[in-house]
Amino acid sequence: MKTYELIVQIQQPSCGGKSPFRNEFRKVSVDDPVEYVRTQEPGGKLEVQESADGTITVSTMRNQARVVYEFSED
């Protein structure tokens, strides 16, 4: 199992002058980051990208809000 620093960014429609982005920071230990997101976003269509530095980005839509999970190996 690998340990990742995880940033979850939720982009929602802006309303009342609030920022349209909400960020959550987590430290998770998982075997498969994509499977982790599947458990968090059941039924969501997942888009997966892996960058040259090993960062795994998984994005989906939740209730008309875009949610992006960014995993960086710790």
pLDDT at 1: 92
C-alpha distances out from residue 31 to 1, 27, 61, 62, Å: 5, 13, 23, 24
pLDDT greater than 90 at residue 65: no
**CA–CA distance, 20 with 22 (Å, rounded to integer):** 7
pLDDT digits (tens, 9 = 90+) for 2-46: 999 999 999 977 766 777 888 999 999 999 999 999 999 998 899
> Domain 2-73 is of which CATH architecture?
3-Layer(aba) Sandwich (3.40)
Quick check: pTM over 0.95?
Answer: no
pLDDT at 19: 76
Q: Where are the domains of the chain?
A: 2-73
Q: Which two tokens stand for residue 56?
A: 């795994």
pLDDT at 13: 72
Q: Is 64 left (phi over 0), alpha (psi -120 to 50) or beta?
A: left
Confidence of residue 47 (pLDDT cuts 50, 70, 90): very high
